[in-house]
Chains A and B, each alone.
Chain A
Amino acid sequence: MPRFVKDNFSPSIRKADSTIHFANRWDHFLARFGIRRNKHRVEPGVYALGKPDGDSPVFVTANYSLSFDALRAALKGISGYILVLDTRGINVWCAAGKGTFSTDELVRKIEQTSLDNIVRHRKLILPQLGATGVSAHEVKKRSGFLVEYGPVKAADLPSYLENRQATPDMRRIKFTLKDRFILIPVEVVGILLPALVASVVAYFLGGLFASIGVIGAVLAGTVAFPLLLPFLPTDNFSTKGFILGWIFIFPLSLIVFLESSTLELWQRFLGLISYNLVFPPITAFLTLNFTGSTTYTSKSGVKKEIYTFIPVMAWMFGSGILLATGLILINLL
């Protein structure tokens, strides 16, 4: 949790600073791993950063600790007020999409905090990504405050504040290697338990290679995919996932083919096919689900992907499992 202490401001105004302490870093670490997912919150309300006065700028953010900390850290050496909306511990962009970082909540917080008594001006600086949930002209009509959209990233705020202008680059959302890399822990943690259970089941039914297949398909979808996303061919996430899954599974299925020399050739061949039917759809399903973590997939596009590729994944996986089950039963008899 961020460190703040009550001071001689009005009781409704908390004090914040720009220093990120160890406790904050630990909180960020837990959040990145999806641990205590809904607990990374700060209290909604007004915070004073530095020594603000009635003419100081007002910055609006969500009550997700990572959002709040990114903002206060970016404003080092700048005095102002931070108006924290109650987004139930969700970051700005997701909360805006969910409807909690919204026109209604912003107007409500302006009224609840009596912001018009704290500052003399009537301007608010919102993060650009908050625009998904906030209507600037509605806010003006309902509260008298003018919404000014700052840059996408809080780190660009000092440059923005120089002339209240964002460069075209500051207005563009990116999805860099670093952005994708930091998503990996939460992706892995989310699938860890089902993956471990499935790998144990696969071990007892199909042996060590089947177990490796499960873990490999999952790691391909959750670790390799975020890192390799821009380099994989095709535009659809599912087809990228199929390709990535096959890159990993095909060599494994060849090893299984070569290692099972005691079986009949047709059994070895069907075993090879079953590996290539069962595991790539697992990777493809995980990569399709990664659409929610990206910064550019559209609702209609994802819908088309679901309708087009989920049946393919289901048929491949189902027929592969049937084939593998048949082979296991033949071996037992």
Chain B
Amino acid sequence: MFNAYQINTLVFDRNLCNHCRMCSIVCPHAVFQRTNGVVSMVHPERCMECGACQLNCPTGAITVDSGVGCATAMIYAALTGKKEATCG
């Protein structure tokens, strides 16, 4: 069955990671985890593309096409010709 949320835009480059753990602190869905001092992406499918990990990663090891997962905002942006959908 088609699941629109199965694949997302989150990319983790472990070669750039300094294992500071900021991603696992800021992620509200426990996508990242540090075990024995090593950070890994354990649940990429849970990512909601909020962008907190990317913004707080000091080494640029994480990239994600972040934004609001809100249909109302996206439809409104499409109808009004706005480039980026925002809440409220």
Contact = CB atoms under 8 A, between A and B. Distances in A.
Is the pairing of A and B real? yes
B4 A301 contact: yes
Most buried by A among B47, B51, B87: B87
| Chain B, interface SS category | loop
A302 B50 CA distance: 13
Interface in B30-70: 30, 46-52, 55-56, 58, 65-70
Contacts of B71: 237, 288-289, 291-292, 302, 305-306
B86 A131 contact: no
Given A137-B56, A289-B72, A302-B71, A94 B88 contact: yes
Interface stretch (A68-76, A113-121, A167-175, A215-223): A167-175
Contacts of B86: 97-99
B17 interface: no
A300 B2 contact: no
B52 A302 contact: no
A306 B74 contact: yes
B80 to A, nearest CB: 15
A135 interface: yes
Contacts of A172: 28-30
Interface in A16-43: none
Contacts of B70: 289, 291-292, 297, 302
B44 to A, nearest CB: 11
B4 A132 contact: no
B55 A97 contact: no
A133 to B, nearest CB: 8
B39 to A, nearest CB: 14
Contacts of A110: none
Q: How large is the interface on A (under 10, 10 to 19, 20 to 34, 35 or more residues)?
A: 35 or more
B3 interface: yes
A304 B87 CA distance: 19
A225 to B, nearest CB: 13
B56 A135 contact: yes
Contact of A299 (B2, B27, B49, B56): B49
Nearest to A134: B55
Contacts, number: 131
A45 B6 CA distance: 42
B56 A302 contact: no
Interface in B10-35: 22, 24-30
B78 to A, nearest CB: 8
Indicate the member of B2, B29, B55 with the most A CB atoms within 10 Å: B55
Contacts of A136: 22, 56
B4 A305 contact: yes
A98 B69 CA distance: 12
Contacts of A133: 55
Contacts of B48: 295-298
A90 B48 CA distance: 20
Nearest to B4: A304
Interface in A158-195: 166, 168, 171-173
Contacts of B9: 299-300
Contacts of A131: 25-26, 52, 55-56
Contacts of A304: 4
A295 to B, nearest CB: 7
Contacts of B73: 292
Sort A-B residue pairs by CB-CB distance and give the 7 closest, nearest first: A292-B70, A297-B69, A131-B26, A301-B5, A173-B28, A131-B52, A304-B4
28 contacts: A94-B87, A94-B88, A98-B88, A128-B25, A131-B25, A132-B51, A132-B66, A135-B56, A149-B25, A152-B28, A166-B25, A168-B30, A171-B27, A172-B29, A173-B29, A234-B3, A235-B5, A235-B6, A236-B2, A291-B70, A297-B69, A298-B49, A299-B9, A299-B49, A300-B8, A300-B9, A301-B4, A302-B74
Given A90-B87, A131-B26, A236-B3, 5 more contacts: A136-B56, A295-B28, A299-B65, A301-B8, A306-B75
